[in-house]
């Protein structure tokens, strides 16, 4: 009844790759939109790592700012301490020079 050779024949177009959105008007527009979505998702994954959204990254900034402020205060304290030490050494040298000049002045 049925032809056995007809059952073994491939359907027309079976070897060709499937067309995206078959029978859809403006299929190219949909392909471009899908490509843009994929690119946005890849860019987001690259920029934000494994987190789902960039909003989750905001929690880190207060800690970063506090760390920068702490480092700046430590550096400022070291600079002020160094300046006071240099000023003290300068005053001691000036005192030593004035005492030498006074000693020389008394001898003459």
Closest CA to 34 of 21, 18, 50, 51: 21
What pLDDT does 78 receive? Answer: 98
Helix (H, G, I), strand (E, B) or coil at 79: helix
Question: Could you read off the pLDDT tens digit of each residue along the chain, which spans 108 residues?
Answer: 455 555 555 555 566 666 665 666 777 888 899 999 999 988 888 887 766 665 555 677 788 999 999 999 999 999 999 999 999 999 999 998 888 777 777 766
What pLDDT does 30 receive? Answer: 87
What pLDDT does 46 receive? Answer: 82
């Amino acid at each position: 009844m049925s032809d056995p050779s007809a059952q073994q024949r491939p359907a027309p177009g079976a070897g060709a790759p499937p067309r995206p959105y078959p029978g859809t008007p403006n299929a190219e527009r949909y392909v471009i939109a899908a490509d843009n979505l994929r690119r946005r998702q890849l860019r987001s994954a690259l920029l934000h790592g494994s987190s789902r959204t960039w909003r989750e990254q905001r929690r880190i900034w207060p800690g970063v700012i506090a760390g920068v402020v702490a480092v700046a205060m430590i550096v400022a304290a070291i600079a002020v301490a160094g300046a006071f030490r240099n000023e003290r050494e300068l005053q001691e040298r000036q005192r030593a020079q004035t005492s030498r000049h006074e000693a020389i002045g008394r001898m003459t």
